[in-house]
Every structure is written in C-alpha cells, then in structure tokens.
Amino acid sequence: MIVLAMVLAAIVLLELFLLALQCRRGHPQWKTLRAFRYAHRGYHDKPQTPENSMAAFRRAIANFYGVELDVHLMRDGNLAVIHDASLLRTAGVDVLVEDLTAEELKQYRLEGTQEQIPLFSEVLELFEGKMPLIVELKAERGNYNELAEAACKMLDQYRVSYCIESFDPRCLMWLKKNRPEICRGQLSQAFLRHGDGGGQSKLTLFVLQHLLTNFLTKPDFIAYRFEDRNNLCLQWCRKVFKVQEINWTITTKEEMEASEQAGNLVIFERFDPRG
C-alpha cells in the first residue's frame, strides 16, 4: 500500500507539473513569423549604427531581416523604443524613460550619434507591409497592464506582422485576457546563473526560470537564452506541448545553425547570418 501511495503521489505531482507548464499551440501567425531571422534591437553596427535606432531598423529591412525591439511606456502615454529604462548607457544621461514625454525624448541622442530614440509609432510606420517584429514589453513600476494595452492600441493602427513577448508574465496575462488573438511569448533564462534578477526574490526567479507561470499565461512561444536552452522545463514544454522556441541572443553562425536545426527561431546580433 505504501508503494502504491507513493506511485499515485508521483503521478499527481507529474500532472501538476505538466499543468503548470501549459502552452498554446498552432497560432496562425507562425506562417509568417517562421520565415525570418530577427535582428536583436535592430540590425545595429556599433558605433556607427546604434541599437534600437531607426538606422538599425532600416538596415534590417534592407537586408530582409525581422526585428526584435523593446518598448517602454512614457509619462505622457507615448511608447519609446529602447532597451534600458535608464538612458545612461545608451544616451549618456541618468534619466528614466518612464519619466519623459515624447517631446522631451527627442532631446537625446543615441551612443554619440545623431540618432534619436524612436517612438514606437515611428517604427511601426517604417515596418508597415514589411518584415515582422518581435515586440518586447518592458514593464516598469507595475505598469504591465497599461503598457500592454498601450502597445496593442498602437499596433492596431498599423499593418504590421508581429508577436509580443515579455519577461513579466503579468503582461502576458493581460494579453491572454484582453487580446487572446495576439501571438504571445514568455521570455526567460537562467536568472540566478547570470545574476540578472532585477531585484526579484530567488523564489520568484526560480519560478520564472522554470516557466511555472505558463498555466496563467498559456504562451504561444518561449523565448529562451540560447546558452540556457537545456532547461528541463523548457524541454518539457517543447516535447509535451510542442511550443515554438525562440533563442536569444545568437552571436555566431554555429549557434544559429544549432538553434535552427532544433526547429527554433533566432534573434541574432554582431554577425551577418548569411556569412
């Protein structure tokens, strides 16, 4: 009886584990999204062409690459395309983008060039009828609902193919509830290994690293750091739920080939995928 109870307990735990990792499959947008490789923060070429700049986006289009980009919600409700909340690394000023208006944003230049920080609307206008986008939502100060809603309203105004991803599962929960037709994805990595936890507790990072919020978000894809891709939970998501995997950030032809041979999409930078 003890052995039987242990077996039943193990079965129950396995079922709960699988329920936690649930994903959605078969989104119609994959027909378009799978046809491209994606330039990380645009097809930048520093120092001449900064990341997340209009020049980097135009360069991606000219080379027939899709683009991964980052979106922040500003004080006036506009959306800025930039990776860090602080402008210190990219523009040399210790200002947070969430505290700026669109007009104030245009005062700053990217990485010693004349390139301005783009508005999301400017990027979408550029990409109308062209290559697809992977849009990462950068939630700050608990603005995940407002950010997700503003990004969707902006995307609705343009004829652009896209999917949306975020490290913050609350952004995906908003999408699941309010815009279930949008292709959505969970970003993750081995947070503790890289010391990149954003001040979150170790328990929270463990849950996020192992995709244990999937049952709340039902992602269409998992965007996982390439060097961390052997994560057991990610492997289960692929085997059991057949979820699409996207790998970031690919920096060599060898990494790209390994990723694509596994059926994954690639987000690349610092090399030409065509070799």
Residues labelled as active-site residues? 40, 83
Which residues, 6 or more positions from 212, have their beta carbon under 8 angstroms from its beta carbon? 20, 21, 233
Buried b (16+ CB within 10 A) or exposed e, 92-125: eeebbbbebebeebeebbbbeeebbbbbbeebbe
> Helices then strands (H, E): number in the chain?
13, 9
Under DSSP, the state recorded for 20 is: H
Strands 265-268 and 79-81: unpaired
Does residue 212 come out as left (phi exceeding 0), alpha (psi in the -120 to 50 range) or beta?
Answer: alpha
58, 59, 119, 123, 211 from 126: Cα distances, Å: 8, 11, 11, 5, 34
